[in-house]
Amino acid sequence: MLPGGGRMEIDMNIYDIAKLSGVSIATVSRVVNGSPKVSGQTKEKVLAVMEEYNYTPNVFARGLGLGSMQTIGIICPDVSDAYMARAVAFLERRLKEYGYDCILYCSGHRQERKEEAVDLLMKKQIDALVLVGSTYTGYGDDESSSTEYIEKAAEKIPVFLINGRISGSNIYSVYNRDEEASYEAVSGLLRAGRKRVLFLTDSSSYSVSQKMKGYERALQDYSLPVLEELKLCMDNRIHLVRDILLSRSTLEYDSVFATDDALAVGAVKYAHAKGLKIPEDLSIIGYNNSEYSVCCEPELTTIDNTSEKLCNLTIDNIMKLLKGEEVPAEVPVKCMIVKRCTTDF
Amino acid sequence: MLPGGGRMEIDMNIYDIAKLSGVSIATVSRVVNGSPKVSGQTKEKVLAVMEEYNYTPNVFARGLGLGSMQTIGIICPDVSDAYMARAVAFLERRLKEYGYDCILYCSGHRQERKEEAVDLLMKKQIDALVLVGSTYTGYGDDESSSTEYIEKAAEKIPVFLINGRISGSNIYSVYNRDEEASYEAVSGLLRAGRKRVLFLTDSSSYSVSQKMKGYERALQDYSLPVLEELKLCMDNRIHLVRDILLSRSTLEYDSVFATDDALAVGAVKYAHAKGLKIPEDLSIIGYNNSEYSVCCEPELTTIDNTSEKLCNLTIDNIMKLLKGEEVPAEVPVKCMIVKRCTTDF
DNA sequence: CTGAAAGCGCTAACAC
DNA sequence: GTGTTAGCGCTTTCAG
């Protein structure tokens, strides 16, 4: 039974439209693709018929001929992470403006699954690949991390790294100057008299390694030792972080530099649980300038690494490249420290 | 110039593989699709060749024939929202396990853009459509909100609502019992002696309307008036909420019931700014049991509406349906109140 | 400017 | 079991 006044919604194909408008399928194809060599009259006629019957070209058939489906693959370790989510949301929105669809893959941090993600996405005949997060830079969770799979993908389609850095042909990196920002932040801590800075992270990635470099460089500049015991890695769930910190009761530190806001909030919770005053007894710095940083009490001093900026630069690159223009292989971006209440500098 | 020892990576097609393994394309197709009627020997031979040349069937050609690409469309208003992000991450992961890819669209809350999202996704020949969030239930930001576009999509492919509820053929809803949970929560507030409960929300959706119903029913059960001035709607950005609340200095209330944790945190920040004690001077309840709720100080009493549960039920439905099994059109799910520190009940 | 026809790579009847 | 063949719907030469 059909609804009252509704037209029967049967999918039409190019032949139907051609017949209905009294032209050949080639002509229909031309107007669909906006070819200039169609007379105004025919064009309008065809357009009218397409409109009337609500015709949509079949993407598969079109893809078969063209070998492209106006689709861009996005891979990130985990969209439920606030930083990733913001980046993906932003990418998706901008890319859609340009008429591209996004296929999303969450790969986690394991090498094997990252390779699989790239593999599967490549089979989808995507036009470009965007990798969000510096985990895709050979610093995965397991030793054997290699970026070969990315370089291989780049042989076929352009690969864009957001906050990652791989050099290779057809690979384009936009990343934060994390080393620099971390150096500044930790220096601030040391300048304010802190001696033992806990380095808190939740993964090992290029970005984390940069942050650690900055951390170590600052320590060295202040003639302080780099202590392995002061480097901790754990999942970035607030209560979990607090509890782990509480359990490590013999570990001494007067400040925390976290590679992610949620970790820093965990440290804040730890301070509360121990009755430590912030920033007097414990000074804390987060990373990402996420909503978490204004959620806790006191609010976090954090590093703003504006994923929007990285995303925008990347999208510019994508569009340029797809239009055949030249694009820079590497774009480093400066991050700013947002001073709030968990530090006294 | 080709890289040293690498094999030339030219895409092969089914004909190449057929030739190389000395069989017909039909046989290759059969082994690709795991057809049982292929002898073990031939199968292995073909498999070996496919492996050796790293053959991948062309998805377009396959899609053209099958009219499907093992792809499921996901639409949500905004992945950068914590609740959505969690749901999308979860869906993506589970769906991938079943061999489905996800195309993601963020539609915002405007009717026009929601219709566009569905439209565009339908053209991608997706096998099913998942709508995350109750905004897709005719309660969008503008008056003219209709769910006709969803019903129309459901004529072609099954549509699954996560935390939304539309009845119609080929539409399957899994949603929280928000009315009930809100009733319980607000009743708790009233039982503890609160008289003026601020209702804080960030959108108008089916879910919000249910929460409001529960709120109003509780009020009525305690013979308290439903005051329109105590219903506020604003973006769920923490500092923004705090500032708006501060600016509405004449508005009086002794408790807040928020439809989202971030809003509730905004209220916590407001209380801090005004020097109000929580929960003594201001009692606050959030919604979603997100990390925000354990991030602020004191930690939020909130309603756990476990998107995981809704997602799991939905995925079960999808898989059943795609296998031709029967599935329930509606599955209501109970939400629990997680009591933490911002209430005194 | 327009039409005819040859693919694109794969699936699924249908024969053998 | 295996091969042959006719599409799937569209793009794109190549003629006209």
Q: What is the mean pLDDT of residues B288-298?
A: 96
Tell me whether residue B215 is exposed, middle or buried, using C-beta atoms within 10 angstroms of its C-beta: 0 to 12, 13 to 18, 19 or more. Answer: buried
Which chain A positions have a beta carbon within 8 Å of B71's beta carbon? 103
DSSP letter assigned to residue B133: S
Q: Per-residue pLDDT tens for A182-192?
A: 999 999 999 99
- Has residue A98 got a pLDDT over 90? no
The pLDDT of residue A132 is 95
Min mean pLDDT across A82-86, B120-124, B331-335 is at B120-124
Q: Per-residue pLDDT tens for B92-146?
A: 999 988 888 888 999 988 899 999 899 888 888 888 999 999 899 866 555 557 8
- The larger pLDDT score, comparing residue B281 to residue A122, is at B281
Q: Give A155's contacts (C-beta < 8 A, 6+ positions apart).
A: A170, B9
**Optimal mutation site among A109, A294, A308, interface B, most CBs of chain B within 10 A:** A294
Instruction: Give the H/E segment covering residue A314.
Output: helix A307-322
The pLDDT of residue B201 is 97
- Has residue B303 got a pLDDT over 80? yes
- The larger pLDDT score, comparing residue B141 to residue A95, is at A95
Q: Which residues, listed in sequence order, are joined to residue A257 by a DSSP beta bridge?
A: A199, A285
Q: Contact A24/A17 with Cβ under 8 angstroms?
A: no
Determine the distance in angstroms separating the CA of B221 from the nearest CA of chain A, rounded to an integer: 34
Determine if strand D comes within 7 Å of the CB of A68. no
Tell me whether residues B58 and A101 touch, CB distance under 8 A: no
Give dist(CA B154, CA B160) in Å, integer.
9
Determine if strand D comes within 7 Å of the CB of B64. yes
Residue B148 has which token pair?
Answer: 């006709």
Tell me whether residues B295 and A292 touch, CB distance under 8 A: yes
Question: What does pLDDT average to over chain A?
Answer: 91
Determine if strand D comes within 7 Å of the CB of B28. no
Long-range Cβ pairs for the range A246-253 (8 Å, 24+)? A246/A270, A246/A273, A246/A274, A251/A198, A252/A196, A253/A196, A253/A197, A253/A198, A253/A282
Q: What is the mean pLDDT of residues A294-304?
A: 97
The nucleotide closest to A35 (CA, C1' atoms): C1
Question: Dihedrals φ, ψ of B91, to 5°?
Answer: -60, -50
Residue B345 has which token pair?
Answer: 């009940």
- The larger pLDDT score, comparing residue B67 to residue A2, is at B67
Q: Per-residue pLDDT tens for A226-276?
A: 999 999 999 999 999 999 999 999 999 999 999 999 999 999 999 999 999
Report strand pairing: B301-304 vs B197-201: unpaired
- Has residue B185 got a pLDDT over 80? yes
Q: Per-residue pLDDT tens for A67-76?
A: 777 889 999 9
The pLDDT of residue A6 is 35
**Optimal mutation site among B295, B341, B342, interface A, most CBs of chain A within 10 A:** B295
Q: What is the mean pLDDT of residues B315-329?
A: 89
Q: Per-residue pLDDT tens for B46-102?
A: 999 999 988 888 888 888 888 778 889 999 999 998 889 999 999 999 998 888 888
Q: What is the mean pLDDT of residues B322-344?
A: 93
Min mean pLDDT across A168-172, A218-222, B7-11, B229-233 is at B7-11
The pLDDT of residue B179 is 97
Provide the whole-model pTM. 0.87
Give dist(CA A65, CA B280) in Å, integer.
68
- Encode A153-173 in three state secondary structure: HHCCCCEEEECCCCCCCCEEE
Q: Per-residue pLDDT tens for B204-227?
A: 888 999 999 999 999 999 999 999
Tell me whether residues B88 and A78 touch, CB distance under 8 A: no
Question: What does pLDDT average to over chain B?
Answer: 91
- Has residue A7 got a pLDDT over 80? no
